Structures are given as structure tokens and as C-alpha cells.
Chains A and B, each alone.
Chain A
Amino acid sequence: MARPMGPVRLRRTNYVTLTIGAFLCLFILYFLVHDGSNVPISTSNSPNANLPPILKPATAKSKLIGDRPPVRRFNLNNVTITPDPIGNQEVVLILTPMARFYQEYWDNLMRLDYPHDLISLGFILPKNKEGNAATTSLQAQVAKTQKGPLKDRFRSVVIERQDFDPPILSQDEGERHKIENQKVRRASMSRARNSLLFTTLGAETSWVLWLDADIIETPPSLIQDLAAHDKPLIVPNCYQRYTDPETGKPAERPYDFNSWQDSPTAQEIAAKMDPDDIILEGYREMATYRALMAYMADREDERDVEVPLDGVGGTALLVKADVHRDGAMFPPFPFYNLIETEGFTKMAKRLGWSATGLPNYKVYHYNE
């Protein structure tokens, strides 16, 4: 094992190692130089001075000491909310809390014939496995659309991830429908809606359309049709298509029972209730005898029939932006024993805004 003294003899040069080394060097240099911030900086030199603030570069890193952002003015006296939203170039903000991504939802959204450059989209998704999957699918569609033909591109898109965990509910049907669980679920839903609403509602927005991620079919003129009624809150009837198991023929049934007119019975129940409890529709132990819009659909041809409502559902709901600006939000706590969209209706009422329903104007919910 005797070895001659002196410098360690270099073994035969291993070209493979060298190549790997060189490759690694290049790889590392790439990451050292590339700071991940070469994203396009948005240009807000549009003639429209009322550009939404969200179009500005928004990360903390992008605003450095020495930056001198301009003073920007937004005159909300000039933001119109009229029955002719297209003619007056009114911006609509479509807000969707999303747990699962349905391609049919996106396709329906793309079919809306309201000018897309007047539509801003806002999404909020939970930060769980399902939410991650939905985000990925959503981002793919958004990217495709915003790189696609100009007329399809939306004004702006904001995708948000929730900062709170959705309640973990048992998938057991009975467990899921327990009143206490419903309260927790809808409180969480309210927070998601509010978070999305108050971070995306811009100075330019005229209308807010709440559209659930499982609404897969609406008339393409949904926005114009609803806006034409010139109501602060207006909600179409939400139905579901299914195949009748007996006849095997396609049929439809009411889906959303949260749009209703109040009844003396329901008010009596509320009067006796603890302020922390909520009244829910569709529970035998709590017969409210409210008039539900779901059962008011009678004439297919009279889509414009209006009914006054005391509670609305949020599957599809058009709201004048001023209602939200005044502070009307989705209470995540029992508000007059009501929660989420029904509590929202009550709060809007307290602020002097009324709700209207269109029993014969239908939108359709996904059927699992």
C-alpha cells in the first residue's frame, strides 16, 4: 500500500463529472441572475382615467423607496348605474367563491354577451387540496382567455386564496344538513364573499354580479336583462336540470330556496329565538311558511315578472355597487337570525335598499 510522497495524483479526468458541473454552474447562474420579477408591468396609460387600482403592480416588492406613484383621482359622482349598462359603458364585477372548478361554469361565463372589456372577474378559493386543484384549472382557463382573442378578454381578473380554513364538515348527508353545521358553513361562506367583495370592489364598478361556481347555464344576456329592471338587488330563479328517473326524460326542479318573502310564522319563530340562532329554510322542525320564489315560477313566457323579496339566494344575484359601498355585506353572524345572503338582504333593507326576484327568469345549477 506504499504510495509515493508528493502531490496527490489527479485521476483520469472524468468528463461526465465535468459536464455535470458545468451544467450545474449554468443552472445556478440562471437562478442567481433571474430574480423572478421580470413580469410585465401593467401600463395604465389608457384614456380612461377611472382605471381600477388593481391594474397597478401590486406586490410589496414592486414599490420601493424612491418610487413616486402619481396622485390619482376617482370621481364616484360620475359612476352611473342605469338600466342601460352597455350604452353607459358601466363596469360589472362578477364575483365567484369557488370550491370546485366546473368547465361548464367557465363556458357559460364566456358566452355572456355583455362586453367583456367591461367585465372584471373576482374569484376566491380555499387553501386546501380541492382549492388547489380548482385554482390550477381556473388559472389555465384564465390564461387561455386573457391571451386569446381581444373580444373574449376580460377587463381584469383577480384570483384570491382564502386566509381561513373552510370548516371541515362530514360528508355524511345527515350531518351536513344539521342546523348548527349549516350555520358554520354559511358563516365561512360569508367571510369568503366579504373578503372577495371588499378587496375587488373598485371605484369604477357599477354593478356586482354574484355568480356561484356551480351555475352552469344562464341566458347570455343575463347582466343586461337583470340590470334593465333597475333594482338595487335582483335575483333570478335558480333551478336544476335532471333526468327524471321514472320517465327517463330531462326535467327541471327548483334548487335555491333562499329567495323568499317573509311570513308571520317566521317572524314569530325569530322573536322567540336566541339572537345567536338562525332560521333556515327546508327543515321540518322549523316550518316557516315563507313564500318561496322557487315555487313561484309559473309562466315561461313572462320572464319580466317581478316579486318583492325579504331574503335572496346568492347563486346568481345582481347588486348595484352602491348597496355594497354603503356597507351591505354578508353577515358571518346571525343578523336578525339570518345569515349570509339572507342576512345581506336584511342589512340592505336596513340601509334602505329593497330586493326583487324574477320567478320566471331561470338560471341552472350543476347536477352532481
Chain B
Amino acid sequence: MVIRATIMTLTSLLTASIFSLGLAGSTTEILMDTVRYYDLSNVQGTARGWEREERILLCVPLRDAEPHLRMMFSHLHNLTYPHHLMDLAFLVSDSKDRTLEVLIEMLEALQAHEDPKQPYGEISIIEKDFGQKVNQDVESRHGFAAQASRRKLMAQARNWLLSATLRPYHSWVYWRDVDVETAPFTIVEDLMRHNKDVIVPNVWRPLPDWLGGEQPYDLNSWQESDTALALAETLDEDAVIVEGYAEYATWRPHLAYLRDPYGDPDMEMEIDGVGGVSILAKARVFRSGVHFPAFSFERHAETEGFGKMAKRMQFSVVGLPHYTIWHLYEPSVDDIKHMEEMEQERLAKEAEEQEKAETEKKIKEHFSDPNNQWEKDKSELQNIAKQASADQKQGSKKNSKPKGEDTDSADSQEERAQRSKKAGAEDGAKVVDARKKSNPVKAES
């Protein structure tokens, strides 16, 4: 019986170990150090990737981004998706500032962080200069004429970054711009939960109060409209339709304009073009060949072309109108001009006020002496008047005091007259004196 029981437990253990063996066998097998075997059906991407240890490739294209790196790393520190499951990929291109040096410094600090949960997975920095002639400053960046070639160059950069870093073990790819100012720490999980092939949040930016406080930023997430389709038909093969410019009135519903600050953040909207500030996509989308067209694909390029191409391959492309992240506000040239004007106005006003204050002060300095004198004189005179009346009272008191002593009343009458005369003379001297020292006079009296 004992043996039978042992055998029973043994068999159950055996089945358990066979089961676990089967599981182990289904995961990646590695033959030798130069040979890798991957089953791509294991990296499809699911709604709860963090539980299934799904790896994400986080792609960040950088150019002259040194001022924003600190902000980006604070976001990296805060992301709640398990860091060891995220591989970081940066493309540093055509940078004239210290982007690369600062990036390396901060990455090394991040990997050496005392908290063992902070370091990320594989980290690759790709350096590639495309010799871009297009300026990155806000004005030329957003000018209409430069859009097509700028977008194509951006697309090229994105494709280079992805093709150099996407591996067969990635389930998701998350594209994130360096200049995002505010975003939920849980953004990866929040987007992942929707289990869509391509998904983007709404992107707004804060504005100074004089500009209205906030504004839709990313106009590249939109739903296709008949007007735009008709417009596309009329355009040249290499033309690129860009949103947010008067030149192309597309009448498309934009994700950005549909935002309701109190709306359900989980609400989904089917879109056709996507903005690139924060895209979460299943890796299989990129594996099937969807990329950021660096040519005019159906009259669109870069992220908008990416959305179009994903749709062409029957992938789901979704935007969240009420889930908002905030892009950094960089004032445009007009804004800067306006702000300079405001600043000048402010300075002028300040100068004016200062001048006013100064003249007032001067006036005070010049004319306060006689005023004081007047006040002093006034108080002195009042004092004298008081004293005089006090003396009189004293005198009358003395008179009334010795009521019973009639004998010396005549004397006292005389004395009184004399005394008052003296007092008058003395008082005159006292007034002169008081101008120099009033206290001793008072003590005397």
C-alpha cells in the first residue's frame, strides 16, 4: 500500500514534470551560441502583455534633443511596464548639440540605478546622419512648403531605427517622441489593454494663458474623408497631403478636436492617419512590412502613411480621443514675437511706473521739510497753548485753595499779578527754548 501510494505520487509528479517539460520545449530553443530559433506565433502581443512577459521595443528618434533628454528620462524612470521587458532603441541623427553624449551618460546612469527595477533591457543607440537640410526649429518645421520633404526624411529615420533594432522576440513596438511633457506612467499598459494592432492617444499641448491655456497638438491622427480622397485623386504622385494647413482643406474628423476632458478615456475611434508622438503597435504589424513611407504612399508620408498602410493590410488602427498626453509647448516665431511685444510692453509699463514712483519720491524729498516744520510748529504752538491754559488753571486753583486764610489775600493778589507777568516773559523765553529742546522745558514746568 505504501509503495502504491508512493508510486501514485510519483506518477502525478511525473506527469507534472512532463507537462512542464512540454512548456519549456515550446519556448525558444537555443542550439548553439550562433544559432537562434524563434516561433513568431509566440510574439503576437496580447491585452495583458506584462503578465505574459511580452517584450516591447521602445523607439525614440532624436535630433538636437539635448534640452529634452532630462524630461524624457524622468518619464522612463516612471513607466510602470516592467523595465526589464522593454528594449530601448534611439536613433541619433544630424545632431549639432551634445545629444549623443548626454544620452549615453543618462542611459548609463539609468542602467546603474540602485533600484534593481529601474534598468531596462537591451539598449541600442543607432547613429546615422542623413545630411538633412531641413531645419528643426519650430517655424521651418511646421511651414507648409517644407512639410513633404521633412516628413519623408523623418520617415526614413524611423525606418532605419526600426529595421536595425526590431528582433524576432519583440511582441510590441512603442514609438515615443522625446518632447512629451506629461503622460500617465501607465500609458503602455493603458494602450495595450485595448489589444489593437495600432493605437494612439490624443496629443494636446499646454499654452500660456494669453493663448487660451491649451490646444490640440497632433493633427496627424484623423479619419479619412471623401473630400480628402477626392483631393488625393487630383494631386501629383509625389504630393503629400499634410494636415493643419489651409492649403489642403480635407474636412477630416481629427482625433485632437474630439477631445472631451471629462470623456471616457477608454473610448475608441477608428482612424486612418496616425500621429507619431506616441504609437503603440504590435510588432507583427511591422513584421508584415508596414513602415513609415519615405515616399508618397496614397498621397501620404511618414506616420500618416503608416496608418494608411496598416489599414491597407487590414490591421486595426485606433485612436483614443479622451485619453490625452501633453506635448511640450515650444513657442512659434509668431508666439515669440508676440511674447517679445508683451515683454516690451511689460517692461515699458514697469519703467513708466518706476519713473512715476521716482518723481513722487523726489517731490516728497523736496517738499517734505516745510511740511514737517509746519507740523512741528503746530504741535509746539498747541503745547504752548496747553501750558498756558494749564498755568491759568493752576493759578485759579491756588486762589481757591486757601479759602480760610483771608489775611494774605491782598498779598496774594499782588503776587499773582507779578507772577503772571513773569510767567509771560518766561513763557516767551521758553517758546524760543522749546524749539531747541522741548523735553527739558516740559520737565521744568
Contact = CB atoms under 8 A, between A and B. Distances in A.
Contacts of A40: 30, 32-33
Given A53-B122, A77-B127, A203-B126, A162 B313 contact: no
Given A54-B36, A55-B33, A69 B156 contact: no
Max chain A C-beta neighbours (<10 A), residue from B112, B128, B164: B164
Contacts of B18: 31
A28 B166 contact: no
Contact of A142 (B31, B38, B53): B31
Interface stretch (A147-155, A225-233, A265-273, A360-368): A147-155
Given A69-B119, A191-B289, A58 B167 contact: yes
B379 interface: no
A64 interface: yes
B14 interface: yes
A171 interface: no
Given A156-B34, A157-B36, A330-B289, A59 B164 contact: no
Contact of B294 (A198, A332, A351): A351
A21 B2 CA distance: 12
Contact of A161 (B21, B31, B41, B117): B41
Given A60-B85, A161-B40, A69 B111 contact: yes
Contact of B116 (A17, A63, A66): A66
Given A161-B38, A162-B40, A329 B125 contact: no
Contacts of B294: 326-327, 351
Contacts, number: 234
Contacts of A127: 39, 41
B287 A194 contact: yes
B168 interface: yes
A174 interface: no
Contact of A325 (B82, B84, B119, B164): B164
A18 B294 CA distance: 72
A82 interface: no
Interface residues of B, number: 80
A36 B25 CA distance: 8
Give the interface size bracket for A toward B.
35 or more
A231 to B, nearest CB: 20
B84 A63 contact: yes
A247 interface: no
Interface in A136-165: 139, 142-143, 146-147, 153-163
A327 B24 contact: no
B21 A36 contact: yes
A199 B159 CA distance: 13
Contacts of A147: 32
Given A158-B35, A161-B40, 9 more contacts: A32-B17, A53-B124, A59-B169, A69-B122, A76-B127, A160-B40, A326-B156, A332-B289, A333-B312
Question: Which 8 A/B pairs are nearest by Cβ-Cβ distance?
Answer: A194-B289, A163-B40, A42-B33, A329-B289, A66-B116, A31-B17, A36-B24, A350-B295
Interface of B: 1, 3, 6-7, 10-11, 13-14, 17-18, 20-21, 24-25, 27-28, 30-41, 43-44, 53-55, 82, 84-85, 104, 107-108, 111-112, 116-117, 119-129, 155-156, 159-160, 162-170, 284, 286-289, 291-296, 312-313
19 contacts: A8-B1, A28-B17, A31-B18, A35-B24, A42-B33, A53-B165, A59-B169, A61-B53, A72-B125, A142-B35, A146-B35, A158-B38, A163-B40, A163-B41, A198-B163, A198-B286, A198-B287, A199-B287, A200-B168
